[in-house]
Chains A and B, each alone.
Chain A
Amino acid sequence: MAGNFDLNQPLMGAGLESPADEEGVHVSFSQLIAEQIGESPDGFELQQLQRALNDEDRDYVGELGSAFEYPGRGLNDMEGEDDDGGETDPQDGLPWSSATLKILSSMPSRTIGRSRGAILSQYYNKTLQLRRRGQSRSSLRDFSRSSRPTIRGYGMEVDTTDGPESEMKKKKERLVNNLQNLSVGERLKMLRGMPVSVAEKKELRRLTLQKDKPPPSSSKIPCCSQLKFYIIIAARHSWYSWLSFLHSLQPWQFLFKRIGGRFGTGVLSYFQFLKTLLLFNVFLFLVTFAFLVLPQAMHPTELPVGVRTFSGLELISGAGLFTDTVMYYGYYSNSTLQKSCAREHNASASTDHDCVSERLSYNMPLAYFFTIGMSFFITCIILVYSMSKSFGRSFRIDKSYSILAMKVFSSWDFRVIKKSSVELMSQNNCTQLREILAEVVQKKEKNGGCQALWRLMVHGLAWAICIGGTAGCVISVYFFSEYMHQDLQRTSRQTNTHPLLKEASLLALPALVSLLNLLLPSLFSLAAWMEEYHSPSVRTYVALGRNLMLKVSVLAVLCYHWLGRVAANPSDINLMCWETFVGQELYRFLIMDFIFTLLNTLFGELLWRLFSRNVLRRSRNPAFDIARNVLDLIYAQTLAWIGVLFSPLLPAVQILKLLLLFYVKVTSVMMNCQVPRRPYRVSQMTTIFITLLCFPSFLGASVCVTYTMWSIKPSSSCGPFRGLRTMFQAGKRWVQELEKNNPDLSVLARVHAYLVENPFFLFVGAGIFLIVIYFYSQVVDGQRKVIELLQEHIEEEGAHKKYLISKLQNMHESKKRIPRRLRSQDSGC
């Protein structure tokens, strides 16, 4: 019989007599495919099926056909409760015949992943497209006959009579040919991205490189493109070594793996966010160190008053000994620093230094102004770039919402490797699936009016509590800061107060603010506990919103206190240098925040764990509250950004703080916490955090700094901007000087005047941006419509497919019935 039918054996062995005989019946594809893969490892070709369908006489499917004539024969119910144990025709519940199954199983949409031939063809077409894009006009010679469009671009040919082996070889050759003609970068990308095994890729690469050595005879490639080829290879090699070097530098790789293995990707994202912040601070520190601290340190200014002694309080209060050092604004000189060779000249050293050499001068005020401005600008660009990249990844154009499918397909976190965590995750998955299912079903139910009113009242009450708490916080900070201000005024007039006491009293305001920051989120979560939300994500967003509201209002009041009260009348509290004072305040706030976080982590979480285990008798440790911890990080970073202007070494403090915090948090999480129970959409939350870092946090800090530079008068006796009307004047003065020295640069000065001082230009720029954004949103709308149309189109095609297959099946069965009838008539006689 036909060699194609190795599946004969089970049929004949079973001796199919009755339809209830299960063994020979094909109700699933796996049997079929296993057998057919055994015979032709290179996938299915259309002509094989053609032959199969043509062999009508020797078609054993006919035997089966009788079994399928009787609908609902119980062949479907082998699985018990499931009604779709096998592939059935959804219209009349008849299972497909074997021939139909064969055709269905060889459909391109089902074989694409398994059949190497199909993958090669697909990639052949991809490389062809790339080639065409690279070349302006390809000669007809390059087009092989198989590049005509077919279903899904497979390039399947029905008119060759070669066996499967040579067909595969040809495809490979064509693919290799295409690969050779691509550029090196694209070739590598294509090879890497092909979903075939490494052994296969090695073979392709070998073939590609083999033919690469001798230059093609008909090529017009000049010799310098070979040089370019080698340069590219060398550059790529060095890029890889650089990446490997960076990779080996990753200090926390092992820790990240442990945390991810135990807690999953959600908790890991907090630590990755911490690492990102650390990198921002390292960048800021390097810039300020190189351009501000180092030059000033090399040219120390004279100290105004007598020597102060070191007392331990400096580390927390930032005042005392630290006041007149490079740490604060007040130390920086307002003149051009020059290397004075009189002091440093060494008799034995031969130097050619000119005593009044212009080249070695360093304009400090200008450097200060531009360093701060540039670092903010670069940070802004980096933030906006990462925010938009993150947003682009999580934003989807089409509105259709497939939460369940997405959840089922992408919720298994492969990173988790610890057994107990895996079990917990499975439990969580079950709960979450149930919740989402209930959510989906519940959308169809309508709520009773009374229930809705009650829920509204509860929500209103919770919001009232939260807003009341926030307002109470803000008012208390406002009045307390006013009280401290007056207290300072009083003590500054007296001369017999102990300086240490004075410094210690300055710590009161930061301590209060940190305490409020610690306690109020717990109040918010208590209020949220009594509310019930439809979906867990709404709950997370509401909690995030409330915490954000608290932190933004507290920061706003503090900024008013510093810039509105202290900076406006510095003589009230006997301050020579208000910028140094504000810098010290920010230092104090950072340190206090750090101390309170440490105490909370070390003691609070430990105590809460003991409490919940022993008193509340819960079987699980408390969950790590990712949102709250990330907001704390963002708050601290905002303080650091506001403070860079007043204290250039503040990023260094922040770096040390973040490093310590990292290790403390890791230890605490390992000891006290658990995989979070609530579903946590990692990439959405990461997008939100980066957005929060950019918008309220960085924007607020830069508005604060810009306001300070633009409108507030700097102190007249200290700092690089003394004597100017505003800090901004430094830049303007420089431009005016340039203009004076070089009349040709007056154009620059005029441009500068127009751009920066004339608001009209800003309005026009903003208007153009808005128009561009509007155009893009219209494009997105149009794409959405196209996606809807395409989905309808695919549904129609699916309906066509079903129609054709059922017609095929009917045709096949009607053909079987005629000879069987003849045969039974023969046997009957």
Chain B
Amino acid sequence: MGATASQLDTGKLSEYEELTFLTKQEILLAYKRFDKLVPKEEKNRIDYRVRMEDILELPELKFNPFKERICKVFSTSDKKDGSLDFDDFLDFLSAFSESATLEIKSHYAFHIFDFEDDGTLGRQDLKQLVNCLTGKADKTSLTADEMKQLINNILAESDIDKDGTVNLSEFQHVISRSPDFVSSFKIVL
């Protein structure tokens, strides 16, 4: 613990603690796990970006159908390749932590579900979302008719201004009425 913690001094630790919803323990654990993903020759660089492929190998994300979207959403790299540096990694853990507010969680959930990255959830986004939920196997996916019916119902329920898409406020409105969201939108390292 001493060797790794030396790169993360108490000043930075308390700074991270103030800016995220994570406790000291969680930040140190995150640092340990992130350090494992950094190759040996790059360990001295502070702002090394771990590639998306390596992040996707984490056991917490490996079988999650939203893993690529998560990397893309939390990545602040200029190349838009989904690579995360330590700050982004903490951001990701903070949004999925126990004490994050509903607003933060719903904000990031919206962007994760926005597969087309256009700022709203259109029919295509919803279709891809349902496909992720029901898995890739043939016997577990819905038929085309069912899918259409489902998406129509979802839009009828949540699209308040009737523009055919679900924007961020409408999404947050639905989420605020769903008490299970906060408990299911959690990842623990």
Contacts and interface: CB of A to CB of B under 8 A. Distances in A.
Answer yes or no: are A and B bound together in one complex.
yes
Given A198-B20, A433-B150, A414 B118 contact: no
Contact of B180 (A408, A410, A430, A441): A410
B143 to A, nearest CB: 10
Interface string A761-788: 0000000000000000000000000000
B177 A406 contact: yes
A398 interface: yes
A430 B144 contact: no
Given A195-B103, A795-B161, A113 B134 contact: no
A681 B180 contact: yes
B129 interface: yes
A434 B142 contact: yes
A410 B140 contact: no
Contact of A409 (B107, B120, B164, B175): B175
Nearest to A248: B25
Contacts of B62: 417, 419
A30 B23 contact: no
Contact of A244 (B23, B171, B179): B23
Contact of A402 (B19, B120, B126, B177): B177
B90 interface: yes
A738 interface: no
B63 A433 contact: no
Interface stretch (A47-55, A63-71, A798-806, A808-816): A798-806
A236 B112 CA distance: 33
Interface in B59-93: 59-60, 62-66, 74, 76, 87-88, 90-91
Contact of B19 (A202, A257, A265): A202
A193 B182 CA distance: 15
A394 B164 CA distance: 28
Given A193-B103, A433-B150, A405 B157 contact: yes
A188 B109 CA distance: 23
Interface stretch (B1-9, B10-18, B31-39): B10-18
A409 B171 contact: yes
A359 interface: no
A330 to B, nearest CB: 47
Contacts of B167: 109-110
A82 B186 CA distance: 33
Given A113-B168, A199-B76, A201-B19, A29 B119 contact: yes
Contacts of A87: 122, 164
Contacts of A113: 107, 110-111, 114, 119, 168
Nearest to B123: A84
A324 B26 CA distance: 50
A527 interface: no
Interface centre among A201, A409, A423, A433, by most chain B C-beta atoms within 10 angstroms, is A409
A802 B174 contact: no
B184 interface: yes
Interface string A392-433: 011010101111111011111111011100110011011001
A426 B168 contact: no
Given A202-B87, A257-B188, A437 B15 contact: no
Contact of B108 (A81, A195, A201, A417): A195
B116 interface: yes
A590 to B, nearest CB: 31
A193 B104 contact: yes
A617 B144 CA distance: 33
A430 B21 CA distance: 33
B153 A440 contact: yes
Interface in A29-55: 29-30, 33-34
A30 B144 CA distance: 24
Interface centre among B15, B174, B180, by most chain A C-beta atoms within 10 angstroms, is B180
B116 A433 contact: no
Interface in A85-116: 85, 87, 90, 105, 109-114
B91 A90 contact: no
B140 A427 contact: yes
A799 B122 CA distance: 18
Interface residues of B, number: 89
Interface in A503-545: none
Nearest to B109: A409
A568 B130 CA distance: 65
A794 interface: yes
A444 interface: no
B180 A33 contact: no
Contacts of B144: 81
A393 B66 CA distance: 27
A422 B24 CA distance: 30
Contacts of B87: 197-199, 202
Contact of B157 (A402, A411, A415): A402
Interface in A433-484: 433-434, 437, 440-441
A191 interface: yes
Interface centre among A34, A257, A423, A426, by most chain B C-beta atoms within 10 angstroms, is A426
A240 interface: yes
A277 interface: no
Nearest to A427: B140
Contacts of B130: 408, 433
A35 to B, nearest CB: 12
Given A29-B116, A113-B110, A113-B111, A437 B19 contact: no
Interface string B143-160: 010101110011001101
A191 B18 contact: yes
Contacts of A241: 24
A766 B19 CA distance: 47
Contacts of A440: 153
Contact of B169 (A81, A109, A414, A419): A109
Contact of A429 (B118, B133, B148, B182): B133
A394 B158 contact: no
A410 B123 contact: no
Contacts of B24: 240-241, 244
A797 interface: yes
Interface in A368-405: 393-394, 396, 398, 400-405
A192 B188 contact: no
B188 A109 contact: no
Contacts of B21: 192
B186 A414 contact: yes
A415 B90 contact: no
Contact of A410 (B20, B96, B118, B175): B175
B99 to A, nearest CB: 9
A138 interface: no
Nearest to A34: B117
A182 interface: no
A114 B119 contact: yes
Interface string A168-197: 000000000000000000001001110101
Interface of A: 28-30, 33-34, 81-82, 84-85, 87, 90, 105, 109-114, 188, 191-193, 195, 197-199, 201-202, 205, 237, 240-241, 243-244, 247-248, 257, 260, 265, 393-394, 396, 398, 400-406, 408-415, 417-419, 422-423, 426-427, 429-430, 433-434, 437, 440-441, 681-684, 791, 794-795, 797-799, 801-802
Interface of B: 14-21, 23-26, 59-60, 62-66, 74, 76, 87-88, 90-91, 94, 96, 101, 103-104, 107-111, 113-114, 116-120, 122-124, 126-127, 129-130, 132-135, 137, 140-142, 144, 146, 148-150, 153-154, 157-158, 160-164, 167-169, 171, 174-175, 177-188
21 contacts: A29-B119, A33-B119, A82-B127, A109-B169, A188-B18, A191-B18, A192-B20, A195-B107, A198-B19, A198-B88, A393-B179, A408-B133, A411-B133, A422-B63, A426-B137, A427-B137, A441-B149, A682-B183, A794-B160, A795-B161, A798-B160
Report, nearest first, the 3 A-B pairs whose CB atoms are least far apart.
Answer: A426-B135, A798-B161, A110-B119
Given A84-B122, A84-B164, A201-B19, 11 more contacts: A29-B116, A30-B116, A193-B101, A197-B87, A241-B24, A265-B180, A396-B177, A408-B126, A409-B171, A429-B133, A433-B133
